[in-house]
Amino acid sequence: MSRKPIIAGNWKMNKTAKESRAFIEDVKLDIPSNDLVDAVIGAPAIFLEAMTEAVQGTDLQVAAQNCYWEDEGAFTGESSPKTLSDLGVDYVIIGHSERRQYFHESNEEINKKAHAIFRNGMKPIICCGETLETYEAGNAEEFVGQQITAALNELTEGQVQSLVIAYEPIWAIGTGKSATKDDAQKMCKTIRHIVAENFNQEVADQVRIQYGGSVKPENIAEYLACPDVDGALVGGASLQPESFLSLLEAIN
Ligand code: PEP
C-alpha cells in the first residue's frame, strides 16, 4: 500500500508575518514536488493570510494550528473554520497535546472540530499521544485508542481515509527525547488497526499516520522507514529553512 508521505511543520507561537514570508522565500524553490510528498507549514492564525499568499505557485501547503467548531457567531477570540478555508488553508492541526493540556480540549471537542474542518473543505491533522506516566504504566495503546475512536466519531469512510493522524507521545514533544522507531511503528500500527476496527481495512490502509516528537533531520529517516509511519509532524526542527528542507530531503 503506497501512501503519499506528509511532512508538516508546527511553528507553534513563533515567528512574525515578515519572518514567515522570508522563510517561504528561502525554501520555495527547493520544495519537492507535490506528487512525491505533502510539505505543510502550520502557522499561527494571525498571519495565515500572509502564508497562503506567500505559498501561491509553490508546492508548499498551509495548516492552521487550531480552529473552532462553529462557522460563525458570538465566540470571541476563536478562529472560524469557514474563514480559514476562505483564506486558502489546506489543513488544520487539532488536538495537539499543548491544546489538550493548556486549554483543556476534550476528545469530544476535537471530534466537533474535525467535522467542522471537513464541512469547510479542509483536512484535519488529528494529534494523539500519551503522557510519560501512561506510557510507563503500559496503558499507551488503550489511551491513544480512546482518543482516536472519539476523534473519528461519525466521520464518513471517505473523510477518514483522507485525514491525517499524528501520533505524538507527550514525553517526546520538545524534549529532545524522541520515541524509538520501534515504539513509533508499534503505535502507528495500533492506530491503523483501530481505524480498521471502527471503519474497515480499506480505510485503514489509506489513512496517513505521522510520528511527531523531537523529529529532526538526523533521525527522520528511521521513522520514515517504518511501514506504518507516513511522515512526521515537527516542531522545533521546522523553524529554520535549512532544517525544514533537510526533513523533506529524507523522502526519496
Ligand atoms: C510538535 O509540536 O508537534 C512537536 C512534535 O514538537 P517537537 O518536534 O519540537 O518535539
214: annotated binding-site residue?
yes
In a domain, 84, yes or no: yes
pLDDT of residue 167: 98
Q: What element of type H or E holds 231?
A: strand 231-234
| Other CB atoms within 10 Å distance of the CB of residue 33 | 8
12: annotated binding-site residue?
yes
Beta strands in the chain (DSSP E): 6-10, 38-43, 60-64, 91-94, 123-128, 164-167, 208-212, 231-234
In a domain, 73, yes or no: yes
C-beta separation of 87 from 60 below 8 A: no
pLDDT of residue 240: 98
Taking alpha carbons only, the member of 246, 237, 243 closest to residue 212 is 237
In a domain, 100, yes or no: yes
Taking alpha carbons only, the member of 72, 85, 156, 70 closest to residue 120 is 85
- Which residues of the chain fall below pLDDT 70? 1
* DSSP-assigned beta bridge partners for residue 234: 9
Residue 228, C-alpha cell as written in the block: 506504518
pLDDT of residue 191: 98
In a domain, 1, yes or no: no
In a domain, 180, yes or no: yes
Q: How far does the centroid of ligand 1 lie from the alpha carbon of residue 101, in Å?
A: 14
Query: 123-128 and 208-212 as β-strands: parallel, antiparallel, unpaired?
Result: unpaired
What is the end-to-end Cα distance of the chain in Å, rounded? 16
Coil, helix or strand at residue 148:
helix
pLDDT of residue 175: 87
Q: Give the residue numbers marked as catalytic.
A: 96, 168
Which CATH number fits the domain that encloses residue 51? 3.20.20.70
The ligand 1 atom at the shortest distance from the C-alpha of residue 212 is 5
pLDDT of residue 252: 72
In a domain, 156, yes or no: yes
Q: State which of 126, 219, 233 you would mutate to test the pocket of ligand 1, scoring each by most atoms of that ligand within 8 A of its C-beta.
A: 233
9: annotated binding-site residue?
no
pLDDT of residue 1: 64
The ligand 1 atom at the shortest distance from the C-alpha of residue 166 is 3
Tell whether ligand 1 has an atom less than 6 A from the beta carbon of residue 235: yes
In a domain, 94, yes or no: yes
Q: How far does the centroid of ligand 1 lie from the alpha carbon of residue 73, in Å?
A: 32
- Give the closest residue (by CA) to ligand 1 atom 5: 213
Q: What element of type H or E holds 60?
A: strand 60-64
Domain, as residue range, for 25: 6-250
Q: State which of 126, 167, 214 you would mutate to test the pocket of ligand 1, scoring each by most atoms of that ligand within 8 A of its C-beta.
A: 214
174: annotated binding-site residue?
yes
